[in-house]
Amino acid sequence: MSDPIIPDKPLKGRGAVSNPVGRYEPASRQKIDDGWERPEEDETPPPQTQVRVDATRTIIARNDSPDVGFDRSINAYRGCEHGCVYCFARPTHAYFGLSSGLDFETKIFIKPEAPRLLDQELRRKGYDVAPIAMGTNTDPYQPLEREHRITRGVLEVLREYNHPFTIITKNHLVTRDLDILGPMGKENLCRVGLSVTTLDRDLARKMEPRASTPAKRIEAIRMLAGAGVQAGVMAAPMIPALNDMEMEKILEAAAGAGAVWAAHTVLRLPYEIKDLMREWLEAHAPLKAKHVLSLVREMRQGNLNDPNFGGRMRGEGAYAEALTHRFRLAVKRLGLDRDLIPLDCTRFAKPARAGDQLAFL
């Protein structure tokens, strides 16, 4: 008879319950009870955040996905200390031999050369300007940004070039950079959205433990709008039977704070995320776990994920259609469905540098 497996337990301040081996690793591991008693003081302490330097040589990532509204993005960090359990970016840590679980939120790769690399790429001959998206993979304002200020450096370069950009974040720290965001927002060079999944502080603390509280995110929308930025809200992801009943309240709170646009997505569970989410539900919402996953399958043609363009963001079936219908009614009622003026790409200009050749008139 094999030894019983010891279940993982939630850790304070962390989203993932476990730290499974990455899918590319040759072996897996499990904790088992061998019958020996273990005193409390011998238990493994909670993992601390470790910072590693990413040796990237380029900073603008390109994509041709037809269901996202941008073709280029910047991610100043790999991994995210916010610890959102549902984060679709978690599986990318497997490329480094790391886990999509606790490793993703405790072993963060930073890109200190991002501002310099961006300057180099924007100065290349033939660069075609289009809005750059930030916050599409990991949060540009996660807690480490307070110390490392990489996103701040990127914004300073974009300001120098009058380059348009968008930001999505869950952190009130974005308001630190109002001195850049405000003036550029008034010139239609930037747009900022706050991702708000719930207004329930307790649920947010368990689901996205190191992100700003819901109230602080709504306050950030108010401050951004007051500074002249086209501020918006991402009600994302909506998780059936867990937070989707809050969608209208989230949109109302954001509109009341000055948001002028809104968007939503539904939960998708690619690769290891399905197991991490199942563990999280069993630990934090055991009575809802089976129901939540059943509804996700209903929106994903019987699966927990749909990788196909178009359907992956909104889902399919009656439940997903009802959610989309509710969203459209709410944004229309709240004035969040207005057509936004595209960000201005005509003002882009390469600033003069010492040694530049003078242009002939």
Structural domains of the chain ordered from first start? 46-334 (3.80.30.30)
**d(C-alpha 214, C-alpha 219), whole Å:** 9
pLDDT of residue 37: 56
**Whole-number Å distance between alpha carbons of 242 and 288:** 8
Question: What per-residue confidence (pLDDT) applies to 353?
Answer: 76
Angle, alpha carbons 246-247-252 (nearest 5°)? 100
- Lowest-confidence region among 18-27, 72-81, 164-173, 205-214: 18-27
pLDDT, tens digit, 9 for 90 and up, residues 94-139: 999 999 999 999 999 999 999 999 999 999 999 999 999 999 999 9
Is residue 28 over pLDDT 80? no
Looking at the chain, the whole-number percentage of residues with pLDDT higher than 90 is 76
Q: Are strands 77-78 and 72-74 parallel, antiparallel or unpaired?
A: unpaired
- The pLDDT value recorded for residue 358 is 55
Q: Which residues contact 131 (CB under 8 A, 6 or more apart)?
A: 70, 164, 165, 166, 343, 345
**Could you tell me how far CA 195 lies from the centroid of its own chain?**
8
Over 70: is that where the pLDDT of 271 sits?
Answer: yes
Task: Work out the angle at residue 289's Cα, subtended by the Cα atoms of residues 99 and 305, and round it to the nearest 5 degrees.
Answer: 55
Provide the whole-model pTM.
Answer: 0.90
What pLDDT, on a 0 to 100 scale, did the predictor assign at position 27? Answer: 52
Which strands make up the sheet holding 50-53, listed edge to edge? 50-53, 107-110, 77-78
